[in-house]
Each structure stands twice: as structure tokens, then as C-alpha cells.
């Protein structure tokens, strides 16, 4: 992939922990949200032993929680070749088509808007800038639907430690999700915390989903921090 973005200093980066290694919450991570509803986020599990154990182990660990969120959300469909995206009155979720272990769902109130390609690019660049400024707790970008897709996943453990897989690229992805955790209000989401998803649908539409605030994890200790 060409035109890759640099991701800061090497001293700030960490490779994924060894199988069985724990990720310890630290001062830099905000407390769990008190907003009504719940979330299921498997980002952390992609860096620990459950990723190496395969989808069967993941299904045993997260399957019921994922199905509960999906049953609560239902709603409109904004899918493409890499991600299923649903938004309804009961919340929203995004799930990888190729690896269903990659899932984020939230029962908080979300808004949906359609933007131009230029506006989509601006939203993605702003999200990347917030991630590089340590104002986002995770960032996912999927650039292709190939058998081995180009993607980037960054996950912040604390103020000075983060894990990353893949590389950021100077193109608008097919899918982008950013989860904010900032000390000041982030204009992109309208709060200090929350989720923003961008997706280019199979029909070529540019969809943006925003959900300010943070809900409590449905499965405490299972990939949450």
C-alpha cells in the first residue's frame, strides 16, 4: 500500500501482547460510561489469546452478547462488502463479514447522515488526527475487501501505550470506526466520548453514524477496559 501515514514515534507503539498476556487498565483510560444502555466491543480480544484460539472460542466468549445487541438493534441496513452496518431505534452495530469476531455494538441513540465524498474524507482525516493526538481509544479503518484485506486497527491502553495492527493509508476507507475518549469536547461527535462510524455502502453512498457518550459494557472483563 502506498502513501502510508506515519503513526508517531516508535517508542509510543507496542506490539500485541503474547498469548495469555493481560492488558491492565491505567489512569489514562476513562471510567466506564454511566449512560443508559450497553455496548459490546471485541477490539481488545483481537489482541489477546482469544484471537489465536479461533472463531469457535470467540463465539463461546461473545456470541450471546453479540446476538443480544443484534436483536436489540435491528433497524436500517447500510452494508458493504466488508462490514454489516445496522442502525435502528435500539442502537447500532458494525460486524465484519469475513471475520465475525470483529464486532462493535451500542444500544445508545445514534444519528445517521449522508455526506459527500469530500465530506467523508474530511471526517476520516479528522478521526485519524484525534487518534494520533491520543483523544481516541480505538480506530479501525478497512481499505479493501480482498481475501487478505488492507486494514488498520489501533487500540489505546493508556496515555503512553497502544497496540496497532496494519497501516493507515491516505485513501478514504470502505469502513472507519473511531471511539473517542478525550478530556475536552470533540466536535466530530459532540461530546468527550462516543462513537463515529463512516461507511461507503454497496450502492456507493457515504453514511456517517454518530453516537455521543459511552455505555457500560454488557460483558465486563471481556475485551473492555
Q: What is the pLDDT of residues 124-140, one digit of tens each?
A: 999 999 999 999 999 99
Q: Say what the pLDDT of residue 200 is.
A: 98
- Give domain status of residue 9, yes or no: no
Is there a contact between 196 and 80 (Cβ–Cβ < 8 Å)?
A: no
List of E strands, 125-214:
136-142, 151-158, 161-166, 175-186, 191-200, 206-212
Q: Where are the alpha helices (DSSP H) in the chain?
A: 49-53, 55-73, 117-132
Q: Write out the three cell numbers for 146.
A: 480482498
pTM of the model: 0.79
What are the strands of the beta sheet with 175-186, ordered from one edge?
Answer: 13-14, 161-166, 151-158, 136-142, 175-186, 191-200, 206-212, 111-115
Q: Say what the pLDDT of residue 172 is.
A: 97
Q: Say what the pLDDT of residue 214 is.
A: 82
- Give domain status of residue 18, yes or no: no
- Give domain status of residue 26, yes or no: no
Q: What is the pLDDT of residues 40-82, one digit of tens each?
A: 998 877 776 545 566 666 677 788 888 888 988 988 999 999 9
DSSP state of 60: H
Cα(65)–Cα(38) distance, rounded to whole angstroms?
Answer: 10
- Give domain status of residue 28, yes or no: no
Q: Say what the pLDDT of residue 222 is.
A: 42
Cα(128)–Cα(189) distance, rounded to whole angstroms?
Answer: 14
The domain of 133 spans 36-217
End-to-end CA distance of the chain: 32
Burial of 211 from C-beta contacts in 10 A (0-12 / 13-18 / 19+): buried
Instruction: For the beta carbon of residue 78, count every other beta carbon within 10 angstroms.
Output: 23
- Give domain status of residue 116, yes or no: yes
- Give domain status of residue 141, yes or no: yes
Q: List b or e across 137-155, with b for residues whose CB sees 16 or more CB atoms inside 10 angstroms.
A: bbbbbbbbeeeebbbbbbb
- Give domain status of residue 198, yes or no: yes
Domain count, the chain: 1
Q: What is the pLDDT of residues 5-34, one digit of tens each?
A: 433 333 344 434 333 333 333 333 344 444
- Give domain status of residue 176, yes or no: yes
Amino acid at each position: 500500500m502506498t502513501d502510508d501515514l506515519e503513526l508517531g514515534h516508535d517508542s509510543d507503539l507496542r506490539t500485541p501482547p503474547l498469548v495469555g498476556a493481560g492488558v491492565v487498565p491505567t489512569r489514562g483510560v476513562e471510567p466506564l460510561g454511566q449512560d443508559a444502555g450497553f455496548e459490546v466491543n471485541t477490539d481488545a480480544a483481537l489482541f489477546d489469546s482469544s484471537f489465536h484460539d479461533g472463531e469457535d472460542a470467540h463465539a463461546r466468549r461473545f456470541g450471546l452478547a453479540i446476538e443480544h445487541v443484534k436483536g436489540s438493534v435491528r433497524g436500517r441496513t447500510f452494508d458493504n462488502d466488508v462490514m454489516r452496518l445496522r442502525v435502528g431505534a435500539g442502537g447500532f452495530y458494525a460486524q465484519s463479514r469475513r471475520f465475525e469476531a470483529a464486532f462493535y455494538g451500542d444500544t445508545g441513540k445514534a444519528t445517521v447522515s449522508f455526506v459527500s465524498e469530500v465530506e467523508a474524507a474530511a471526517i476520516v482525516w479528522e478521526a485519524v488526527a484525534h487518534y494520533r493526538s491520543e483523544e481516541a481509544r480505538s480506530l479501525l479503518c478497512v481499505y479493501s475487501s480482498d481475501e487478505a484485506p488492507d486494514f488498520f486497527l489501533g487500540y489505546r491502553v493508556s496515555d503512553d501505550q497502544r497496540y496497532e495492527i496494519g497501516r493507515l493509508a491516505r485513501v478514504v476507507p470502505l469502513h472507519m470506526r473511531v471511539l473517542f475518549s478525550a478530556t475536552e469536547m470533540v466536535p466530530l461527535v459532540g461530546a468527550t466520548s462516543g462513537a463515529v462510524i463512516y461507511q461507503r455502502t454497496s450502492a456507493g453512498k457515504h453514511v456517517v453514524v454518530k453516537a455521543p457518550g459511552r455505555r457500560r459494557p454488557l460483558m465486563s472483563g471481556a475485551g473492555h477496559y
